[in-house]
Amino acid sequence: MAQDRKPFQVEANGINVITGAERKGSPRQLFWPWFAANVSVFGLSYGSFVLAFGISFWQAVIVGSIGIAVSFLLCGLVAVAGKRGSAPTMVLSRAAFGVRGNRLPSLISWMLTVGWETVLTILATFATATVFERLGWGGGTTTKIIALVVVTALAVAGGVLGFDLIMRMQTWITIITGALTIGYIVFVAHRVDFAAVSALPPGPVQNVIGALVFVMTGFGLGWVNAAADYSRYLPRGTSGRAVVGWTAFSSSLAPIVLLLFGLLLAGSSPELNAAIAADPIGALAAILPTWYLVPFALVAVLGLVGGAVLNIYSSGLTLLALGVRIPRYAASFVDGVVVVAGTVYVVFFAGTFFGQFQGFLITLGVPIAVWCGVMLADIALRRSDYAENDLYTPSGRYGDVRVLPIATVLAGTAIGWGLVTNANADWLGWQGYLLSPLGLAEGWSGANLGVLVALVIGFLVTFTAGRGRVMAQERT
């Protein structure tokens, strides 16, 4: 896609519609960015995170596989809008919310993408420090600072230079991290204890649902707001089914394999399971032979950079969609500064990782789930391509501020936050305020039903009440 431009040339496109001359390629080329963004060894850590819900290995296998596949299928469905409108995801969202009304979901989207960039940078910093410490090279503050600078520089460079460099970076990241990850699995496979894994007791249905929601928010729901940013370069005549299929398949393949092996590792060792909560990737490095630590550091950092690059590129586009009037490359620099600040806080002041991570996922997972429901319904109702000029004109067919979808996001978020809890993050203790009035406090407090409820609210309200609006827009 757009392979005729130089990879080290700063991309000129921002949130504008991609011209017909620049739209090229095929859906299978979506494999490289989406696979590389999700092949990180961090996926192994989800085995520990899922088992923390108190469920058995087989329950975890089922909810993990379903959660990953379904959540990335949502990404594939949103990606269809990219080839139909040739604009970034959060610009296409204006068709549902209005040109200026879309600033609310754009703000939510920006917080989510910057949050994910920060999470990935934190993990890379921890992993590098752990590896250096095991090698006897020092793993203290200086090492963490250097790792933070290097990872941020790589991610920001990809975000600044843009689409063509990202496509090339992700191709090499896919090849290198894929090979080295297979090597990691081979070297630690002897640690799997099938008897211990099989002996894990099953958990109640509430815990199973809680694990399912966690997996969905940790994987596909963390990408839906950026899903059309890469398919927008495809020709308008590209098969929508192919876009959905390649996006969902490419995104799901590595996480499912990594999660399954991560479940085997975490279920085999209570000590490793506990260590992952504090330092997810560093704990995985601790069980390696010393000579493989440098390749592991490479696969860990590259895998995390692969995800961070896509996030920082999309967060820059979202910042522009929010109404900030700066060049796209400058938006990536702004996001880089925010990421550094967030990483410094968590690495040096916040303590354990898992509680903060779960709180971040669930809290922002609720409003993004409502937005996703609205967006999916809006896409499903449309029969024609987007009217390009009207996506940028408040007086056009998509309007300025659409009250119903905005009210749906606000109401769905309020209801969703009332049905989730984050016991490991003290600053989120105010959530779950609807559980007791609805009689769900006993047993259901950890199920985090609010994310699923928010997704359904967004879709049903828009699909039933938005049909006339969409028909009127397309008649215009």
Averaged pLDDT for residues 353-372: 80
- The contacts of residue 335 (CB under 8 Å, 6+ apart) are 113, 114, 117, 156, 159, 312, 315, 316, 319
Please check the confidence at residue 3 and state whether its pLDDT lies above 50: no
DSSP assigned state of 292: G
Check the CA dihedral 296-300-302-303 and report its sign: positive
Please check the confidence at residue 350 and state whether its pLDDT lies above 80: no
CA distance 286 to 279: 10
Question: Model confidence over 425-465: pLDDT tens digits?
Answer: 677 778 889 999 998 888 788 888 999 999 999 999 999 99
Question: Model confidence over 136-158: pLDDT tens digits?
Answer: 777 677 887 887 888 778 777 77
pLDDT of residue 19: 87
Q: CA angle at residue 310 from 309 to 316, to 5 degrees? A: 90
pLDDT of residue 80: 94
Question: Model confidence over 35-45: pLDDT tens digits?
Answer: 888 888 888 89
pLDDT of residue 458: 97
Please check the confidence at residue 271 and state whether its pLDDT lies above 80: yes
pLDDT of residue 69: 96
Q: Which residue has the higher pLDDT, 56 or 303?
A: 56
Averaged pLDDT for residues 168-181: 81
Question: Model confidence over 211-253: pLDDT tens digits?
Answer: 999 999 989 998 999 999 989 989 988 999 999 999 999 999 9
SS3 362: helix
Averaged pLDDT for residues 49-55: 92
Please check the confidence at residue 165 and state whether its pLDDT lies above 80: no
Please check the confidence at residue 17 and state whether its pLDDT lies above 70: yes
pLDDT of residue 333: 80
Averaged pLDDT for residues 398-423: 93
Domains of the chain and any CATH numbers? 26-353 (1.10.4160.10)
Question: Model confidence over 59-79: pLDDT tens digits?
Answer: 999 999 999 999 999 999 999
Alpha-helical segments (H) within 52-102: 57-85, 89-92, 94-97
